[in-house]
C-alpha cells in the first residue's frame, strides 16, 4: 500500500509518500492510523490521535471506519483550505 501525506503533515514528517505492507489485522483506515502510531515514532509525534485529519482511499474521501479493502493508496492530510 502506498501512503501519501500532504500539507503540514507532509512537511513535519519530512516525506510525501511511503510504501507499506499492511499486517492482516489492519482492516479499516482507523486500524491503519493505529498501526502507524505504534510502528512509526515520527507519525505518532506528528499526528497524535487528537489531530483533526482527513483521509482518502484511491482519491475518494472516507471515514475512519471505512474498510481499506483493495485500495492501493491512502492519503492522509489536514482539513482542506482551497478555493
Partner 1 sequence: MSVKVTIQAEMFDAGALVNQFTHDLPEAGAVTTFTGLVRSTPDKPIEALILEHHPTMAQKQIERFAQDAIERFNLLAIQVVHRFGEMKVGEPIVQVMAASHHRQAAFDGANYVMDWLKTDAPFWKKEVGPQGTDWVDARETDETAKEKWTK
Residue 17: CB minimum distance to partner 1, A: 12
> Which C-beta is closer to partner 1: that of 6 or that of 44?
6
Residue 54: CB minimum distance to partner 1, A: 9
Positions in the binding site for partner 1 (CB under 8 A):
4, 6-8, 10, 56, 59-61, 75, 77-83
The CB-based long-range contact list for 26-31 (8 Å cut-off, 24+ gap) reads 26/68, 27/67, 27/68, 28/64, 28/65, 28/66, 28/67, 28/68, 29/55, 29/57, 29/62, 29/63, 29/64, 29/65, 29/66, 29/68, 29/74, 30/64, 30/65, 31/68
> Which C-beta is closer to partner 1: that of 7 or that of 45?
7
Amino acid at each position: 500500500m502506498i501512503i501519501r501525506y500532504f500539507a503540514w503533515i507532509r512537511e513535519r514528517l519530512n516525506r510525501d509518500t511511503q510504501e507499506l505492507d499492511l499486517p492482516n489485522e489492519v482492516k479499516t483506515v482507523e486500524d491503519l492510523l493505529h498501526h502507524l502510531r505504534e510502528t512509526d515514532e515520527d507519525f505518532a509525534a506528528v499526528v497524535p490521535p487528537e489531530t483533526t485529519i482527513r483521509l482518502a482511499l484511491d482519491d475518494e474521501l472516507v471515514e475512519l471506519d471505512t474498510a481499506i479493502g483493495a485500495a492501493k493508496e491512502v492519503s492522509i492530510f489536514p482539513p482542506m483550505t482551497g478555493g
